[in-house]
Structure 1
Amino acid sequence: MKTKRAWIVAFATIFAGISLALVQNKVAPCMTTLMGAFNIDMATAGWLSSLFSLVGIVMAIPASIVLNKLGPKKGGIVALACAILGSLIGVFTDSVPVLMASRIVEGVGVGLMSVIGPSLIAMWFPEAKRGLPMSIWAAYQMGAQAVMFFLGAVLTTSFGWQGVWWFGLVACVVAFVLYVLCVKSPRPEDSYADVESEDVSIVEGMKSPSAWVLSLATMLFCIGCFGFVNWIATCWAQTFSWDEGQANMWVGYFSIFGVIAAVVIGALLNHVKNRKLFGVAALVAYGVASLVGMFMDNPSFLIGFVIVYGFVDAGFPCVLWTMAAQTVKKPELAGVALGVVSIGFNVGILLGPPIIGAVVEAAGWHAGAIAICGACVLGAVALLFTKLYSADDVPVQEVPEAEPTAA
């Protein structure tokens, strides 16, 4: 019965994450229409997306405080309410500053849920069983991107840019209802990460070196990953003499196979003893895949590449969210650890596209691929120095179970 309840909570939480990610990713599919409707340039339009990363960085630690003080249910309700309010403001405005402000409100919701979601899963699932639910959680961004890539153009053609806004709004309303009805915290004695405990010290959690090391590895991965995804369509369009729409279609397939891969990897992670080394291998594999993708000069290899890419793209995020709660010595500090990791996640998203774009502009696509691979390899090295702790303050994977000290 407890396992059934845990999965009900997990799926309601994951759907909330997907709905918020739909709101986050709604700009790209209607970018051209937005630019025309508001008479804005590309730089201004780009901020409609980049604002989320900035808000995510600012909100990472405050989200941990909200999680501890309000609890995951009330905190999640606030997150969804922010997305609903921001979407309503945005859909009815014809002012660029108001639209920007609405995106900040939505970003607060996404920032809160990025910490609350995995914390809820950590509360309901023991470390050995977190692989699958955390991996499904890791796929929520990919799932939302796939939906927006394939529905965004249709919605924009039929209803204008507001159609995409309404789509995200409706998803958030449905998620809000499900969240209110289905989500609750386990009893303290049954919680595997009691992030609501009065003993939670935000400062103590932030002092965990391991959480910051994992955050560094995450930032390096996101610099590479988001640099690759942001520019690969342009790379293929130039290399294969395609139009932008054809190249974007192939990038859209990344997300579909990524979601499938996340479920497969999640089931596998429940049986992997050394998840850290699995993550190291996944980071190196992503670096190699980026080289193949940007060095590719024959589109006939794309079908195989897209399938393989889905697995290497999902690999590290699945490991990341599964391990993040174990980078602190006390389970109740899991929310703070997730906040710290979220900082690295959002910094990488913010820096990746401009850094890789600058490298490509200066030295070409092959240099960009090497830079992406280099970032991932550095991330793998950082991950090797990440210490993991079990729920009873015993480090996992590093020493025998009888040892009381960290690896």
Structure 2
Amino acid sequence: MNTKRGWIVAFATIFAGVALALVQNKVAPCMTTLMEAFSIDMATAGWLSSLFSLVGIIIAIPAAIILNKVGPKKGGIIALACAILGSLIGVMVDNTAVLMATRVIEGMGVGLMSVIGPSLIAMWFPETKRGLPMSIWAAYQMGAQAVMFFLGGVLTLNFGWQGMWWFGLAACVLALVFYILCVKSPRPEDSYADVESDDVNIVEGVKSPSAWIMSLATMLFCIGCFGFVNWIATCWAQTFNWGEDQANMWVGYFSLGGVVAAVIIGAVLNRVKNRKLFGAVILVAYGIVSIFGMFMDNPTFLVVFVIVYAFVDAGFPCVLWTMAAQTVKKPELAGVALGVVSIGFNLGVLLGPPIIGAIVDSAGWHAGAIAICAACILGAVVLMFAKLYSVDDADEAAPVAEGLSAASAK
């Protein structure tokens, strides 16, 4: 296997993921401007973001089917084309319903790439070497969030909400060019997860208990994580008597720090023997750190907190995407496994903010922090029940199966 070629494919894929995530995250930084431009309330504006999670849940398994039928290159082109089409229509509309529809189109692209991206990396890298490229992939959302939060004010001030749309559109066009030029599948005999194989049985992959266990652990983490990220700026604004902009700035630092942390964790993961235990420890650590974040009554320790939080925030996604392809017995079912895990991911993103928000509203910030911690600890327990399969296990089982078959033939 050509490692250099694998990294070229990985970086082109990750850039495509970042471009699509820019499109996904363009609403929050210009939410107030959008509400004024379209005369909509907060609930309606919230759907402009949460629609992505709903589409992600619906398209997760179909994405695995598309991946198998058309391959990762054509599938990725379709994903980027959806984002380009949705953004191009969206930037020209003045109707809320049509804008919602364009967000659905964009969401289809993001949903496709969330399955295609890690599948491509799994095809080019063996299990023992996936830690670093998968961890860099895991940081694509954090990187995009940081970019949009840091540039959102400038783009919106100078170009209105349309500036965010044009920025995402330009990124997707550029990503499409790189994707077409750089991405290809390895030869079937060189692939570590031949998701394009005719032998892929979608139903068999969907029936894998470990994939659903991993999906449940992921959902619990995302309920806690996105509940925390969605409300921590408001928590600090109220606790520290800050303006919204100052609190949001620190949230942007989270995302930026998470990108750096993901690369470091990725390098470590390639040397970790028990990744499942590592993931469980990170989940518990996230819960503990989130309690500290919401219990702080002054900003003295914020710098230290942001550094520590960056590592626990990036930690589980790095482990998740590295292990997800191993929750099925056959490497060619990796795309299906990633689709199943994506369901849990998007369900957690959808449920986290309203659940934690409701708890905070009724019982306060401390209760919300405890709920976040409880979700993460429960996720750690669930994760330990997931069984991970190795290519080596399959290779060892094959001769045994052949021997039994020969014996029965005699």
Alpha-carbon distance in structure 1 between the residues aligned to 2:316 and 2:58: 24
After TM superposition, the score normalised by the length of structure 1 is 0.97
Once the two structures are superposed, what CA deviation does each residue of 1:284-342 show, in whole Å capped at 9, x if it has no partner? 00000110000011201000000110000000000000000000000000000000000
2:97 maps to a residue whose letter is P
Query: Unpaired runs of 5+ in structure 2?
Result: 402-410
- The alignment status of 1:321 with 2:318, answered yes or no, reads no
2:389 maps to a residue whose letter is Y
Is the Cα–Cα contact under 8 Å of residues 52 and 104 in structure 2 kept in the other structure? yes
Alpha-carbon distance in structure 1 between the residues aligned to 2:350 and 2:340: 16
Once the two structures are superposed, what CA deviation does each residue of 1:139-181 show, in whole Å capped at 9, x if it has no partner? 0000000000100110000000000000000000000000000
Query: Unpaired runs of 5+ in structure 1?
Result: 397-401
Q: Corresponding residue for 1:183?
A: 183
2:107 maps to a residue whose letter is G
CA 1:216–1:395: 2 relative to 1, 3 Å: farther
- The alignment status of 1:244 with 2:244, answered yes or no, reads yes
Is the Cα–Cα contact under 8 Å of residues 68 and 195 in structure 2 kept in the other structure? yes
RMSD: 1.4
Q: Corresponding residue for 2:107?
A: 107
Q: Corresponding residue for 1:399?
A: none
- The alignment status of 1:25 with 2:25, answered yes or no, reads yes
Q: CA deviation at 1:394?
A: 5.0
Is the Cα–Cα contact under 8 Å of residues 33 and 160 in structure 1 kept in the other structure? yes
- Give secondary structure in 2 for the equivalent of 1:121: helix
1:172 maps to a residue whose letter is C
**Percent identity of the aligned residues?**
82
- Give secondary structure in 1 for the equivalent of 2:36: helix
Runs of 4+ more than 3 Å apart: 392-396
Alpha-carbon distance in structure 2 between the residues aligned to 1:238 and 1:264: 34
Q: Corresponding residue for 2:301?
A: 301
Is the Cα–Cα contact under 8 Å of residues 330 and 394 in structure 2 kept in the other structure? no
Is the Cα–Cα contact under 8 Å of residues 257 and 306 in structure 2 kept in the other structure? yes
Q: CA deviation at 1:392?
A: 3.8
- The alignment status of 1:346 with 2:328, answered yes or no, reads no
Q: Corresponding residue for 1:330?
A: 330
Q: CA deviation at 1:391?
A: 1.3
Q: CA deviation at 1:377?
A: 0.2
Once the two structures are superposed, what CA deviation does each residue of 1:23-56 show, in whole Å capped at 9, x if it has no partner? 0000001101101111111100000000000000
Is the Cα–Cα contact under 8 Å of residues 394 and 403 in structure 1 kept in the other structure? no
- Give secondary structure in 1 for the equivalent of 2:11: helix
2:337 maps to a residue whose letter is A
Q: CA deviation at 1:393?
A: 3.6
- The alignment status of 1:41 with 2:37, answered yes or no, reads no
Q: Within 5 Å, which residues of 2 pair with 1:116-155?
A: 116-155=116-155
Is the Cα–Cα contact under 8 Å of residues 389 and 395 in structure 1 kept in the other structure? no
CA 1:395–1:47: 2 relative to 1, 3 Å: farther
Q: Corresponding residue for 2:404?
A: none
Alpha-carbon distance in structure 2 between the residues aligned to 1:247 and 1:195: 43
Number of matched residues? 399
Q: Corresponding residue for 1:226?
A: 226
- Give secondary structure in 1 for the equivalent of 2:391: coil
- The alignment status of 1:82 with 2:82, answered yes or no, reads yes
Once the two structures are superposed, what CA deviation does each residue of 1:59-93 show, in whole Å capped at 9, x if it has no partner? 00000000000000000000000000000010000
- Give secondary structure in 2 for the equivalent of 1:199: coil
